[in-house]
Amino acid sequence: MSSPSAAVPAAGAVGVLGTGSCLPGDVVTNEDVGTPAGVTPEWIEQRTGIRARRRAKPDDVTSGLATAAARTALAAAGIGAGDLSLIVVATSTPDSPQPPTATAVAAGLGVPPGTPAYDMNAVCSGFVFALVAAERMLHGTAGHALVVGADIYSRILDPADRRTAVLFGDGASAVVLGPVRGRGVIATRLASFPDHRDLIRVPAGGSRIPASPESLAGGLHYFTMDGRAVRAFVEDHVAPMIDGFLQDHGAPASGADAPRVHFVPHQANGRMIEKLAAGLGFPPERAHATVREYGNTGAASVPVTLDHAASRLAPGDLVLLAGFGGGMAAGLALLEWGPRGLRPARPTGA
């Protein structure tokens, strides 16, 4: 089997052309969230590795953060909004249940009418699920897709719940997908584990428990999570899934003949991802993290971390994106980073 790091051209390959993020300016410290949750800043950092997170202003909306991130990604890719064939926004905190938040992003960018735009809700796996869907839709075309992960979790957290209030931050990040030289997106894998669907949830606000004075009084619109069970899920299901995926595609995290693979996981909890990366064999310099500064930004956490890692990636590097979260679900995507950074493919002789 040939190594995935070999420079083999692939006709019709789709890859990342540009990245961009939008993190709100308001910095929220561990003391800020710890006091109402009844814990100390030291307790938070010891158990989560988080020192701060960002919080949206009262008049911010998910589509606004997503649009700002999208503009940066489009500029990095060197294309305009009119060049987009598709927009997918991964979020579990949309502007409203209807219409799709992606249509607000399309309007904000000035995308031509008729361009498809839709939301993807796979909670914290959402960005990888959205990227896989967009990449498949672009195959056989010369089109471009905007894929955004965006969440404002501060709107659905119970400040007194130390299991959740200390973990989450707000933010958005985007990538532009399009034709690339090399192999771009090499392989993907998506999985859902519905027997574990109650580990992470917002009980009310849908058809099962519609909004009512009783649901509001009962705190049923808050995000809830069984942290210990989620940790066990990651150890029992996500870690073996990642290891098998890398082995299947000739890209183990370590070993004498291993290619240079960078790990960009969902930033669920700093201590959790440190253990996950070490167990898989990723050296610290190739296990990327933003959780200390930004906390868990939901569907935005994988693309935020990819955006921050971009300056440390070299042509030919492999990048493993790993999302996991509510559903329960997990999504993996193995990418080859393009030559000379992020460059769109151009016709021969152009």
Positions marked active-site = 124, 266, 296
What is residue 64's DSSP assignment? H
Q: What are phi and psi of 120, to 5 degrees?
A: -130, 120
Q: Under a CB-based contact definition with an 8 Å cutoff, are residues 186 and 4 in contact?
A: yes
Q: Can you list the positions of beta strands (E) in 25-106?
A: 26-29, 52-55, 84-90
Cβ partners under 8 Å of residue 311, min gap 6: none
CA distance 166 to 180: 40
13 neighbors 180 (Cβ within 8 angstroms)? yes
> In what order do the strands lie in the sheet containing 261-265?
185-192, 329-336, 318-325, 261-265
CA distance 67 to 63: 6
- Cα–chain-centroid distance for residue 40? 29
Q: Which helix (H) or strand (E) holds 149?
A: strand 144-152
- Judging by DSSP bridges, how do beta strands 318-325 and 329-336 pair with one another? antiparallel
What is the DSSP-derived secondary structure letter of residue 220?
T
Retrieve residue 324's tokens: 């996991």
Q: Which residue has the tokens 């190739």?
A: 286
- Classify 323 as helix, strand or coil: strand
Torsion of CA 313, 90, 208, 238, to 10 degrees: -20
User: Within a 10 A sphere around the Cβ of 147, how many other Cβ atoms?
Assistant: 29
